[in-house]
Amino acid sequence: QSALTQPPSVSGSPGQSVTISCTGTSSDVGSYNRVSWYQQPPGTAPKLMIYEVNNRPSGVPDRFSASKSGNTASLTISGLQAEDEADYYCSSFTTSSTWVFGGGTKLTVL
């Protein structure tokens, strides 16, 4: 199972919005609504930010939103804050009953 494709890096200024894409195939992102997004600051474990395409766990700010179209999922962070600077990973369930991750995107808040 190949990794999902994410841009290596994105950046934005405080207050701006950024979008991170996650491209898979019809065997993963395109087949299920089991796409999730994780935030990982340096030296810490990943944290679930979005599950089942566009649902936020309790405690995640509504500045974080996500969607999916076909084989591509997207995470949008609006009203960027310095604390949002981290690595972001997408993940999808697959038709093989396995999970696959994206390669990760480093978000820099300028």
Partner 1 sequence: QVQLQQSGPGLVKPSQTLSLTCAISGDSVSDNSGAWNWIRQSPSRGLEWLGRTYYRSKWSYDYAVSVKSRISINPDTSKNQFSLQLNSVTPEDTAVYYCAGGRAAAGFVHWGPGTLVTVSS
Closer residue to partner 1 in complex, CB, 51/80: 51
Closer residue to partner 1 in complex, CB, 100/107: 100
Number of residues that bind partner 1 (CB under 8 A): 24
Sign of the dihedral defined by the CA atoms of residues 78, 43, 8, 31, in that order: negative
DSSP class of residue 28? T
79 touches partner 1 by CB under 8 A? no
The residues near 37 (Cβ < 8 Å, ≥ 6 apart) are 22, 48, 49, 50, 64, 66, 73, 75, 88, 89, 90, 91
Closer residue to partner 1 in complex, CB, 68/93: 93
51 touches partner 1 by CB under 8 A? yes
CB of 51 within 8 A of CB of 75? Answer: no
**Binding residues for partner 1 (CB under 8 A):** 1, 3, 34, 36, 38, 45-48, 51-52, 55, 57, 89, 91, 93, 96-101, 103-104
